[in-house]
């Protein structure tokens, strides 16, 4: 973040505004809503500001700015049309450690005034870090339509209940869950629709139904293949509600950023070769935290029930008597193939698709190589890069033509995505030349060749665009 967002309590605090035109007027009107003690300095004062001064709402000094005007200021807004004067005032503020905003001059500003949605005490601020004020305003307009007008009254009503809830529900975890049920359930809808009495009845009923020691539960969540925007809405809700998150090695940090800030995060990833946290240890952690009454999210890359050992974890929870639910995710096969422009099935090229783990034989399994080698079949190999040569050899041995298209997708759906398109006989050499590294997905079948025409994301799309324009 270029700017750290804060909400500044300016009630009764002295704020200096240098300039008295239309822009300064808008800033003064905004500051007045925060009950700041506003001082305006300018040689010419707009009539609206003069009117405000006559009511005692602000103080005006009809003259040029002087350095002593900064004395006692907690915030300075500079809104004159003279760039040199603005920059000089900004330098004076910097020397004194006073936060300063120079209107339309990001480089001279220490703080930025965001676009604001005011549902006091609920305040939503939107900023583009000064890069595009128009974009920030447009985002605010969209959010205005989504946030109910009575949401501020609802927040105040909830605040008024806190003392009673603290007295009736001593457990902090239970209190948090109680308020979550209010905010997420019909009580909020009743209140924002104007039915405060109905909201209160629901709140009282919920309070009587809560047990003193909430039961823990585990939610198995698919984090998707890499792009954090592929998270489902249910996955986002689970992350926001979790007390503790056990996450795999390949889960991007950007996905974890969606979690509640105070949630405990425990990395339990396993690397190639079996190093890392054992599956038994992961199962024990899930059970331990759930038995402590915590809401646990087990966060896995892709979909948790496709080569993620999610089924084993659910079986362990069943044996331990732990409640659980599953939030599916966009699988690595679906996500990576889509971002590479490779349809896994196609009326002309593929009537079936088979998902295979590249470690299958090492784990005691034996893929049906004859099935995988059949025409009009798409074979998708997870974790197959380390055994790429072996996979190619077995497919050809079982009848797959050597010229069958094959594609490796590395770091799929992310900005680092790489796609190598070749044939069964050349894919290993191409991967070596391109220095492809895990995680990578291998797609074998006629559909892989469609990447050349359908690539739309990342370096492949850029390369195709350059070729077409040449």
- Residue 228, pLDDT > 90, answer yes
Q: Output the average pLDDT for the chain.
A: 91
Residue 348 bears catalytic tag: no
Looking at CATH, the fold of the domain delimited by 1-113 is given as Rossmann fold (3.40.50)
At the topology level, CATH places domain 334-469 in 3.30.950
User: What pLDDT does 364 receive?
Assistant: 55
Give the SS3 label for residue 85.
helix
pLDDT of residue 212: 60
**For residue 384, what are the CA distances in angstroms to 116, 409, 435?**
50, 11, 15
Confidence at residue 402, expressed as pLDDT on a 0 to 100 scale: 96
User: Does the pLDDT at position 45 exceed 60?
Assistant: yes
Residue 215 has pLDDT above 90, yes or no: no
Q: What's the pLDDT at 272? A: 56
Kindly state the tokens that stand for 267: 């990395």
Q: Which CATH superfamily is domain 217-330 in?
A: Tetrapyrrole methylase, N-terminal domain (3.40.1010.10)
Contact 193, 217 (CB under 8 A): no
For the chain, the straight-line distance linking the first and the last C-alpha, in angstroms and rounded, comes to 39
- The pLDDT of residue 131 is 86
Per-residue pLDDT band at 403 (split at 50, 70, 90): very high
Q: What's the pLDDT at 211?
A: 63
Q: What's the whole-number mean pLDDT along residues 227-241? A: 93
For the stretch 149-202, pLDDT in tens is: 999 999 999 999 999 999 988 888 888 889 988 998 899 989 998 999 999 999
- Listed by start position, the domains of the chain span 1-113, 151-209, 217-330, 334-469
Binned at pLDDT 50, 70 and 90, residue 10 comes out as very high
Using a CB cutoff of 8 Å and minimum separation of 24, what contacts does 121-126 make? Answer: 121/152, 121/155, 121/156, 121/159, 122/147, 122/151, 122/152, 122/155, 123/7, 125/5, 125/7
Q: How confident is the model at residue 213 (pLDDT cuts 50, 70, 90)?
A: low
pLDDT at residue 50, as a whole number: 94
Catalytic residue among 69, 227, 243, 248: 248
At 416 the pLDDT is: 94
**Would you state the pLDDT for residue 360?**
58
Element (H, E) at 82: none
**In the structure encoding, which two tokens stand for residue 3, read together?**
């700017």
Crossing angle for the helix pair 22-33 and 47-54, nearest 10 degrees? 30
Q: 336 Cβ partners below 8 Å, 6+ apart?
A: 225, 409, 412, 413, 417, 441
The yes-or-no verdict on residue 261 having pLDDT over 70 is: yes
Between CA 446 and CA 426 the distance in angstroms is 15
Q: Where are the beta strands (DSSP E) in 260-350?
A: 264-267, 295-300, 323-327
- Quickly state the pLDDT bin for 273 (edges 50, 70, 90): low
Residue 309: exposed, middle, or buried by beta-carbon count in 10 A (0-12, 13-18, 19+)?
middle
Average pLDDT for residues 31-53, to the nearest whole number?
95
pLDDT of residue 275: 64
The pLDDT of residue 461? 60
pLDDT over 90 percentage in the chain: 78
Residue 226 confidence class, pLDDT cut points 50, 70, 90: very high
Q: 458 pLDDT band (50/70/90 cuts)?
A: confident
Give the range among 290-304, 354-368, 439-453 with minimum mean pLDDT. 354-368
Which of the following is catalytic: 118, 270, 376, 464? 270
Instruction: Return the closest-CA partner of residue 322 out of 286, 268, 297.
Output: 286
Helix (H, G, I), strand (E, B) or coil at 80: coil
**Is 300 labeled as catalytic in the residue annotation?**
no
Beta strands in 260-362 (DSSP E): 264-267, 295-300, 323-327, 352-357
Give mean pLDDT, residues 338-360.
92
């Amino acid at each position: 973040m270029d700017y750290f967002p804060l909400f500044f309590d300016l009630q009764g605090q002295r704020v200096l505004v240098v300039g008295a035109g239309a822009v300064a007027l808008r800033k003064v009107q905004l500051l007045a809503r925060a009950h700041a003690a506003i001082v305006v300095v300018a040689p010419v004062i707009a009539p609206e500001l003069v009117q405000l001064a006559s009511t005692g709402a602000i103080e005006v000094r009809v003259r040029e700015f002087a350095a002593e005007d900064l004395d006692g200021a907690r915030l300075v807004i500079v809104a004159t049309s003279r760039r040199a004067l603005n920059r000089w005032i900004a330098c004076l503020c910097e020397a004194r450690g006073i936060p300063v905003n120079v209107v339309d001059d990001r480089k001279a500003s220490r703080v930025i005034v965001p676009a604001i949605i005011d549902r006091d005490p609920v305040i939503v601020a939107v900023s583009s870090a000064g890069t595009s004020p128009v974009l920030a305003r447009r985002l605010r307009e969209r959010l205005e339509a989504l946030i109910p007008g009575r949401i501020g009254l609802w927040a105040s009503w909830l605040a008024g209940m806190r003392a009673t809830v603290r007295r009736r529900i001593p457990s902090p975890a239970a209190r948090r869950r109680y308020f979550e049920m209010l905010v997420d359930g019909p009580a909020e809808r009743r209140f924002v629709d104007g039915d405060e009495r109905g909201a209160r009845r629901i709140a009282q009923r919920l309070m009587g139904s809560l047990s003193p020691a909430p039961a823990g539960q585990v939610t198995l969540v698919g984090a998707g293949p890499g792009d954090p925007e592929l998270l489902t809405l249910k996955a986002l809700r689970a992350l926001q509600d979790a007390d503790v998150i056990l996450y795999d090695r390949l889960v991007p940090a950007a996905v974890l950023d969606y979690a509640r800030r105070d949630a405990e995060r425990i990395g339990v990833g396993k690397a190639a070769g079996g190093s890392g946290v054992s599956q038994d240890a992961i199962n024990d952690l899930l059970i331990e935290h759930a038995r402590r009454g915590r809401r646990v999210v087990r966060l896995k890359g892709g979909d948790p029930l496709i080569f993620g050992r999610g089924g084993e974890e659910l079986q362990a929870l069943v044996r331990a008597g732990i409640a659980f639910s599953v939030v599916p995710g966009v699988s690595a096969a679906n996500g990576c193939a889509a971002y590479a422009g490779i349809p896994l099935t196609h009326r002309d090229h593929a009537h079936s698709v088979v998902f295979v783990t590249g470690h299958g034989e090492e784990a005691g399994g034996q893929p049906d190589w004859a099935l995988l080698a059949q025409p009009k079949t798409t074979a998708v190999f997870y974790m197959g890069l380390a055994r790429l040569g072996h996979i190619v050899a077995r497919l050809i041995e079982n009848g797959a033509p050597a010229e069958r298209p094959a594609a490796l997708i590395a770091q799929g759906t992310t900005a680092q995505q790489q796609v190598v398109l070749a044939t069964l006989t050349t894919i290993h050499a191409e991967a070596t030349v391109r220095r492809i590294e895990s995680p990578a997905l291998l797609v074998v079948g006629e559909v892989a060749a469609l990447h050349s025409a359908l690539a739309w994301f990342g370096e492949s799309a850029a390369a195709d665009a350059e070729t077409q324009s040449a």
